[in-house]
Amino acid sequence: MFELSLDQIERFREDGLLIVENVLNDEDIEALRARYEKLFRGEFETGILPDEVNWQEGTSDPTLTRQICNGWKADRTLARILCRPEHGRAIAECMDWPGTRVMIDNVLWKPVGTRSLGFHQDNAYLDWFKPGHLCSLWMSMDDVSAEGGAMELVRGSHKWHHSEPDGVFHGPDDYRAPMQKAAKREGIDPDIVHVAVPKGGGSIHHGWTWHGSGPNTGANPRRSLVLHAMSSEVEYVPEKFGHATGPIYGRYRQLGSTVMDENHFPIIWTRDGHRTASLDAYCAAA
């Protein structure tokens, strides 16, 4: 069972990042690898399309990182692993939240030879809900080396000024440029930490921590599953729906309400024992 020590939580709060081990076991990894093959071929087990399908076999640019967002809605094996209560608990403890909800997942596959992912701060895309903060658990299904396109996190950058979305995410030539601009503004030489971990390991990062990744010039593919989580106590800010990812996720709002529906943004753990009704039944049907 994945659990954090008090020392790890303190380090996360200081650094805005934490490298973790043994989040996924061998059985999870085998199951996820098989589901990734299907998802990127357009085989969606539940019949539901993920919210963002940014790469498909046969039609998409093979030099780009394969990406799908909210694969959990399309595939219950993925949902079962992503939505574990222990993931919610670890994130809530890091952030001092009453509980944890899924905002989105990120299904990522960076084959050998593929290009970079641009540096960004996740929270810059999220003013359409409040409090607009994310905390993310990044889990690797492969052994990752620095040259294998490892995710890079900048230590302490969650305390920097907040930047607006800047540059492209998929395949920029200078993937560190937006972060370097921000570091210059801060007058700081960035301390870049590579998430170079054995398979099953990964990292937790704060929503204001700068991160991105270089091209995969290593020998292995880099497949990862990311839980991007928000506090269990969030609500919509409809006047911001036109910004960043608001047009995609604002669609789930019920008219006349700012309540975020648990069917679309499930609560996976709270301190007082709540978990979205029927989530376990949904996951068990995998």
Ligand X SMILES: O=C(O)CCC(=O)C(=O)O
Q: Which of 213, 216, 231, 276 binds ligand X (CB under 6 A)?
A: 213
In angstroms, give the least distance from the CB of 117 to ligand X.
4
Site for ligand X in 12-41 (CB under 6 A): none
Which tokens go with 191?
């301390």
In angstroms, give the least distance from the CB of 221 to ligand X.
13
CB nearest ligand X: which residue?
213
Q: Which of 121, 224, 232, 245 binds ligand X (CB under 6 A)?
A: 224
Q: Which of 29, 53, 151, 154 binds ligand X (CB under 6 A)?
A: 151
For ligand X, the closer CB: 106 or 276:
106
Q: Which of 15, 75, 122, 142 binds ligand X (CB under 6 A)?
A: 122
Q: Which of 100, 136, 245, 270 binds ligand X (CB under 6 A)?
A: 136
193 touches ligand X (CB under 6 A)? no
For ligand X, the closer CB: 116 or 231:
116
Q: Omega of the bond prior to 131 within 30 degrees of 0, cis?
A: yes
Residues binding ligand X (CB under 6 A) = 106, 108, 117, 122, 136, 138, 151, 211, 213, 224, 226
